[in-house]
């Protein structure tokens, strides 16, 4: 690990400098349900999505160091992936933890993260985050409130948890390339912490019937594209489990008329990258892995570097050929990445390798997992434009 980090230190400066040069986008929050400007109607859009933001204590300490004694700064930690995130028309993250108050921050097992995480995500180029996870109730309803308040201040939209019944019922609609994009999010569990009896809407739990009903409701509310974030799967398992496979099949098969109810499924939770697959004509990312997390141990109690490996998915949507038709994914790509626990930085592996880092084995392992269910045959490529074999 030390030798690898020393080598990364030699290339990170060049890689991060390139990322910093990327032109910033306007991240003014979109007004919910606002008609798309006619100038951008039907031009298509790119969507990027990434895995779990899971600040363990070591990650919080790194952000404090980067803050230079003035709070917490997560921007340097994420700067290595900004060149991938910022150019997209729509960028979605997964905020697995809730935020603490007044310095009361903690890592595992009950996470309370600094609210400055939200500002770091916004500065990186994200537009919104899913917030339904097994840690959403780690600090009760106050944790949810602080988290969503901080995301609001940062200009980030959110889906999956709520401060009120009215908020829970309101669709999260964003605009990109002339399309209205609905973001729905659900989790399999809340680590045994029961939903508050008077707030059953606080966190969205996975229920197939409800998901289909919600997807159809946001269509009626004007959504052209429905993106579904699911916190699911078996931790430390590279392959999707039976529940993931069966739920993916049924959700992608659900249609209203000849139009699928869901257009993209984005998975989180397993701590490791999992496969991408086209199911019933719809792309499913079973697990993107942890984008940010401290050094982790698996169920055997041993350090597992897979917990710091992840992917960013990038999907290009093209407008329908006829009014009322489906916005189709015409290009599907992914970027393998690594959270270097010693350097405290997210690393775009392809960019680091291009700068001379000997990280081919890590990059290739991620590629093998991503392509393990035949995604290459359905057109998935690495973001550099290559298929399964790729380039060095």
Q: pLDDT (tens digit, 9 = 90+) per residue, 59-90?
A: 999 999 999 999 999 999 999 999 999 999 99
**Per-residue pLDDT tens over the stretch 118-133:** 999 999 999 999 999 9
Question: pTM higher than 0.85 for the full model?
Answer: yes
CB 74 within 8 A of CB 124: no
Higher pLDDT, 34 or 322: 322
Q: Scanning the structure block, which residue is given the tokens 């430390």? A: 236
Domains, the chain: 2-382 (3.60.21.10)
- CB-count exposure of residue 250 (10 Å: 0-12, 13-18, 19+): middle
CB 264 within 8 A of CB 315: yes
Which of 22-26, 71-75, 105-109, 307-311 shows the lowest per-residue confidence on average (mean pLDDT)?
Answer: 22-26
| 294 secondary structure, DSSP code | -
User: In sequence order, what are the residues at sequence separation of 6 or more whose Cβ sits closer than 8 angstroms to the Cβ of residue 183?
Assistant: 92, 128, 130, 157, 159, 172, 173, 174, 227, 229
């Amino acid at each position: 690990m030390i030798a690898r980090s020393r080598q990364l230190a030699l290339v990170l400066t060049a890689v991060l400098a390139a990322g910093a040069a990327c032109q910033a986008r306007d991240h003014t929050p979109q007004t919910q349900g606002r008609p798309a400007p006619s100038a951008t109607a039907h031009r298509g859009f790119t969507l990027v999505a990434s895995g779990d933001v899971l600040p363990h204590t070591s990650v919080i300490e790194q952000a404090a160091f980067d803050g230079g004694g003035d709070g917490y700064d997560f921007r340097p930690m994420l700067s290595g992936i900004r060149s991938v995130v910022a150019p997209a028309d729509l960028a979605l993250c997964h905020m697995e933890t809730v935020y603490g108050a007044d310095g009361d921050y903690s890592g595992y097992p009950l996470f309370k993260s600094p609210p400055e995480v939200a500002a770091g995500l916004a500065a990186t180029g994200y537009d919104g985050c899913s917030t339904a996870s097994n840690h959403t109730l780690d600090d009760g309803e106050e944790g949810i409130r602080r988290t969503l308040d901080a995301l609001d201040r940062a200009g980030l939209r959110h889906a999956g948890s709520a401060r009120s019944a009215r908020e829970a019922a309101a669709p999260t609609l964003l605009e990109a390339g002339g399309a209205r994009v609905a973001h729905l999010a659900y989790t399999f569990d809340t680590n045994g912490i029961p939903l508050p009896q008077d707030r059953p809407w606080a966190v969205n739990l996975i229920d197939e019937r409800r998901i289909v009903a919600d997807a159809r409701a946001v269509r009626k509310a004007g959504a052209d594209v429905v993106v579904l974030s699911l916190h699911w799967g078996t931790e430390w398992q590279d392959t999707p489990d039976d529940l993931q496979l069966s739920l993916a099949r049924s959700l992608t098969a659900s249609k209203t008329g000849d139009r699928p109810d869901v257009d993209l499924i984005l998975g989180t939770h397993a701590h490791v990258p999992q496969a991408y697959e086209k199911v019933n004509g719809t792309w499913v990312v079973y697990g993107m892995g942890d984008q940010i997390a401290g050094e982790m141990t698996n169920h055997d109690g041993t350090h597992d570097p897979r917990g710091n490996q992840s992917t960013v998915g990038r999907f290009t949507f093209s407008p329908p050929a006829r009014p009322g038709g489906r916005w189709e994914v015409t290009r599907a790509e992914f970027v393998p990445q690594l959270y270097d626990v010693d350097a405290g930085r997210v690393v775009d592996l392809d960019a680091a390798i291009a700068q001379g880092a000997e990280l081919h084995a890590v990059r290739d392992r991620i590629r093998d997992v991503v392509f393990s269910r035949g995604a290459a045959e359905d057109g998935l490529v690495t973001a550099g434009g290559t298929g399964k074999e790729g380039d060095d």
